[in-house]
């Protein structure tokens, strides 16, 4: 089965064509500057990357260019679009109504539209991708894989905020969590990689990238996660503040004569390690280089980030009354031995010991805990496209 994976942003679109039997990527690429001048990047498996500059007024034209590339006579990987068996869409927010991946029908579209207030940047773009695929490939099954779905197994005690209940009733204000596709994939891979019992396991997944979140997964089900109503809650991130005292918003608005919207923009785009280092960088590779050169702000930002990760890991050990394994994933989690080392230094009370030689690896699946460590710690690379493909293939077989 050939599954086309579509991940739409407001002005961009990432795609992969994956064979569900072999799980091999046949082609992949990116559409950029949709609605502006347009650029298609296309790369068939084993082939050279091709770049085409062409107008893409909407996502429909962008997806049409993707489909044309996949079947072009010279470097295409299919003879016709009949060979596409299903389309899997990454969708940001399904609210509380959708708790798992599903074949898209009008009822699903309605829920995605209802959740546009909760995901104003992503949900409308996700819908554009769905509409375009329905128009260009009528009759092909489309599947929505939601970023929030994996976390909808959280109990009430984990997802409710201490606000007047009427706001939950009227506006569905609660914790939803994000990066669900990654947390689902990595928790399952960790269980398999470490030989744990899926029905009797306690795993903590640290998805650490420019956006970062942590999940507590008990017996294969999410019981808590660090992001909330929006991706702003939780860890200090690349440009997001993470958890702060809510009164900070009013305080700075009054002092700086800013609106709440302006303040939220600062919390989302100008804070995190970027803000802590006075705009030096949101990239941890730059921060590590700066720290090595004696930059104290960079060193402090790395310490703050690592400390926050360790605090949430510790709270999830308490929430699950134990832990069997801790997994690091995503850009920082997979490629920053220093961050993993600093986080695990706080976990000595669990009997965690890190093997320095094993930890000195990047981008590959590996156990980094020492042989005599009381808990397993591993690096488990995420693959959200593969996860979306698996979910899609399982629903349309």
Residues tagged in the binding site annotation: 7, 14, 90, 207-211, 283-285, 331-335, 384
State the Cα–Cα distance between residues 320 and 133, nearest whole angstrom: 41
State the Cα–Cα distance between residues 250 and 41, nearest whole angstrom: 44
When computed from its CA atoms, the radius of gyration of the chain, rounded to whole angstroms, is 22
Assess contact for 218 and 197: CB atoms under 8 A. Answer: no
Residue 386's alpha-carbon distances to 20, 22, 85, 341, in angstroms, are 9, 11, 16, 28
Assess contact for 3 and 24: CB atoms under 8 A. Answer: no
Residue 336 CB burial class (10 angstroms; 0-12, 13-18, ≥19): buried
Q: Which residue has the tokens 């969708």?
A: 91
**Spatial CB neighbours of 254, under 8 Å, sequence gap ≥ 6:** none
Residue 165's alpha-carbon distances to 32, 71, 148, 152, 169, in angstroms, are 42, 54, 22, 19, 6
Residue 40 CB burial class (10 angstroms; 0-12, 13-18, ≥19): buried
Assess contact for 39 and 32: CB atoms under 8 A. Answer: yes
Give Cα 165 to chain centroid, integer Å.
29
Active site residue 147: yes
State the Cα–Cα distance between residues 293 and 299, nearest whole angstrom: 10
Count CA atoms within 13 Å of residue 286 on its CB side.
Answer: 11
Residue 128 CB burial class (10 angstroms; 0-12, 13-18, ≥19): buried
Annotated binding site for substrate: 90
**Catalytic pick among 147, 245, 289, 300:** 147
DSSP strands (E only) in 94-239 = 102-103, 142-146, 202-208, 212-218, 221-225
200-229 residues labelled b (16+ CB within 10 A) or e (exposed): ebbbbbbbbbbbbbbbbbbebebbbbbbbb
Residue 122 is given by DSSP the state: T
* Residue positions annotated with a catalytic role: 147
């Amino acid at each position: 089965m050939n599954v086309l994976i579509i991940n739409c942003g407001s002005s961009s679109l990432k795609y992969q064509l994956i064979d569900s039997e072999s799980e091999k990527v046949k082609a992949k690429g990116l559409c950029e500057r949709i609605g502006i001048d347009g650029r298609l990047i296309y790369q068939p498996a084993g082939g050279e990357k091709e770049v085409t500059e062409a107008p893409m007024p909407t996502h429909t034209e962008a997806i049409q260019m993707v489909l044309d590339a996949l079947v072009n006579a010279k470097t295409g990987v299919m003879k016709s679009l009949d060979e596409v068996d299903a389309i899997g869409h990454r969708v940001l927010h399904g609210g509380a109504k959708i708790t798992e991946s599903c074949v898209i029908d009008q009822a699903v579209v309605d829920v995605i539209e209802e959740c546009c207030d909760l995901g104003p940047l992503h949900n409308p773009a996700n819908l554009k991708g769905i509409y375009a695929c329905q128009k260009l490939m009528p009759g092909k099954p489309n599947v929505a894989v939601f970023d929030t779905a994996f976390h909808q197994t959280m109990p009430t005690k984990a997802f409710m905020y201490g606000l007047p209940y009427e706001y939950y009733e009227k506006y569905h204000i609660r914790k939803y969590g994000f990066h669900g596709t990654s947390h689902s994939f990595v928790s399952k891979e960790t269980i398999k990689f470490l030989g744990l019992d899926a029905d009797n396991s306690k795993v903590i997944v640290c998805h650490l990238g420019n956006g970062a979140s942590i999940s507590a997964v008990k017996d294969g089900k999410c019981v808590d996660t660090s992001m909330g109503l929006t991706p702003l809650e939780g860890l200090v991130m690349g440009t997001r503040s993470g958890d702060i005292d809510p009164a900070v918003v009013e305080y700075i608005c009054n002092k700086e004569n800013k609106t709440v919207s302006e303040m939220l923009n600062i919390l989302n785009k100008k804070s995190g390690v970027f803000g802590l280092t006075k705009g030096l960088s949101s990239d941890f590779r730059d921060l590590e280089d700066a720290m090595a050169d004696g930059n104290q702000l960079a060193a402090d930002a790395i310490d703050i980030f690592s400390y926050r990760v360790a605090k949430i890991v510790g709270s999830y050990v308490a929430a699950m009354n134990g832990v069997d394994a801790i997994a690091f994933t995503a850009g920082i989690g997979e490629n920053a031995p220093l961050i993993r080392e600093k986080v695990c230094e706080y976990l000595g009370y669990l009997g965690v010991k890190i093997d320095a030689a094993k930890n000195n690896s990047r981008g590959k699946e590996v156990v980094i805990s020492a042989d005599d460590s009381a808990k397993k710690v591993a690096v488990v690379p995420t693959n959200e496209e593969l996860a979306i493909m698996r979910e899609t293939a399982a629903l349309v077989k």
